[in-house]
Chains A and B, each alone.
Chain A
Amino acid sequence: MALKASALRRFLASDLGYSFKSSPMAVSAFVLLVLLIASAFLAPWISPQNPHDLSQLFIDKAEIPPIWAQGGEWPYLLGTDPQGRDVLSAILYGTRVSLIIGLAAVAVSMAVGVTVGLMAGFFGGWIDNLLMRVADTVLSIPTLLVAILVSALFRGILPPAMRDPFAAIILVLAIALTGWVQYARTVRASTMVERRTEYVLAARIIGVSSARLMRKHILPNTLTPVMVAATLNLGLAILSEATLSFLGVGMPITQPSLGTLIRIGNQYLFSGSWWLVVFPALHLGLIVLAVNLLGDWLRDAMNPKLR
């Protein structure tokens, strides 16, 4: 803990920390995001109900409107669905699923993209040509289409019993398959610049191996734009996951993400149970908004031209 506290103090004393403290937008987006993430991961302890535990669902509590509307009932703050499931609890559990998939997709894209970018930029020649041609081809198909096709195909290949347990992994792969390209391009561009600098040349002369040169010398100097891209892409990844789940090629009803909840709620759109779709949709918007605001701030703060 002491180590964490000193890291925090060091961050607040840095240039970036100063820019953070003086931007009320960044601070409020950060606080909002921390609250949303914390509430999602603490869901088993703080939510009024476990939405996956059938013994906690009561059929006579079905389709109760939110607490402030007529017929609302404690503790169902945001109402219940036709199975008597508390909407707030379902949202908190669903957010956890959405966040885990979003974070995993960003992590996988970043790992693949940074590796590809380093290799392409460092070695150049045919490796560079090959890798960048692959990147071009991936981007020549609309990303949403790639993601839908990949998830649909995996589901087509897997036997029905295997689909649900692997749904999250399939989604991560489907999103990461196009996600890595942006990182690869950024890292490649900065690697090509760093490769020619004197410190790299000096390290090479004293006999540092290529792998170590890439990992210890070049990589740290290419990471700033990567961090900005990662933050902004987290928002995009969460949206992609939600879109795929909404279209029915994402998370199953047994493990709903926010997108699945919106898909389910959409079926009750004309029956008057508006809270089933409105609250998951707004919650999703709130998470992505917080991430985007933070990403926008980070991009501006890291851009030396704007200082």
Chain B
Amino acid sequence: MRGLRALLSSPLMFAFLVKRLANAAGVMLAVAFIAFMIFRFVGDPVELMLNEQASQAQRDELRVRLGLDRSFVVQFGTFVLNAMQGDFGISYRNQQEVFTLIVERFPATFELVLMATFLSLVIGIPLGVYSAIRHKTLLAQAIQFVSVLGISLPSFALGILFILLFSVTLHWLPAFGRGETVMVGGWSTGLLTPSGRMALILPGVTLSLFQITLVMRLVRAEMMETMRTEFVRFARARGLSDHAIHFRHALRNCLMPVITVTGLQIGNLIAFALVTETVFQWPGMGMLFVQAVSFVDIPVMAAYLIIVSFIFVSLNTLVDLTYALVDPRLRQQAVAGAGHGT
């Protein structure tokens, strides 16, 4: 809270805050423009919504009702205003409101991404620490090699191989679906039923593998760097145990970038979840999007693009602002330089 007050009281920081938010808004506007162009120019919405026998009068009437007779700028403005209120139109395929369709599917994707993030930290950090402090041992080098292996096999291929091994051959885990779900205050969760938890294991592990290697490599690099610093040498001179040096001093210094990358990656995980969801027939937003792509269901595609980009841009902005709060050195650079990418 003190940081926040400092942020608002210092003119430089306030300028940074405004600039960063304006930047995010600009990017969202660009995304909305792309979505609008897709909406407007890929296929004629009137042709897609009416059947062959519709008369010219009916066509014109629909054109007016959809606002397609108005100027380009007015149409774009209406599109943005509607999108901000969560109105993305009606799905061409099943005639339901697009926003409701996506919101219904959100919990499934969110739980999957949460599981993957959790696994990546719980597995990635210890592996990274081990391969940094014992980097000469055979095991550490084996871990390093397996991590290259992990990013070389694409997640969908890995998912299929998992299904083949654990579902088709061993019959241990379900191959598709979410299992039984319960509604908790409008949120459908699979975490509370045994079949729901079983169903989450394979997709969760599949989605997390890339993330695990990422966290592991990051922790390893940061730890190696930190172990060479003066304060670690000083801690050693004070006679602290290896355990205390590694975990209480060195690891703590590595956690900031890990948290940043984890935060930034959540947006990417949501996007990548669409591949995992397709493999495991997981009823999330991603599967909805892939189905929309194969049916050229433009409103769903446009809405998904906007929603996922919104999550992605919000996270990036939030991480940037947090960084400026935590590390004053970054303020100057952040004011001058560009934002984070992937």
Chain A contact residues, CB within 8 Å of chain B: 132, 135-137, 139-145, 148-149, 152-153, 156-157, 181, 235, 239, 242-243, 246-249, 262, 265-266, 269-270, 274, 277-278, 281, 284-285, 288-289, 292-293, 296
Contacts and interface: CB of A to CB of B under 8 A. Distances in A.
B152 interface: yes
Contacts of B163: 269
B152 A156 contact: no
Contacts of A269: 160, 163-164, 168, 175
Interface stretch (B50-58, B196-204, B293-301): B293-301
A137 B175 CA distance: 38
Contacts of B312: 140-142
B342 A136 contact: no
Nearest to A287: B152
Nearest to B29: A137
Interface stretch (B78-86, B95-103, B271-279): B271-279
A153 B42 contact: yes
A142 B271 CA distance: 6
A243 B156 CA distance: 7
Nearest to A291: B152
Given A148-B289, A269-B175, 6 more contacts: A140-B316, A142-B272, A248-B294, A281-B160, A284-B153, A285-B153
Contact of A152 (B271, B274, B301): B301
A142 B268 contact: yes
Contact of B148 (A243, A277, A284, A296): A296
Given A235-B152, A293-B148, A277 B271 contact: no
A153 B38 contact: yes
A277 B161 CA distance: 8
Most B C-beta atoms less than 10 A away, residue of A132, A143, A145, A277: A145
A141 B38 contact: no
A181 B164 contact: no
A242 B42 CA distance: 25
Contacts of A293: 148
Contacts of A296: 148
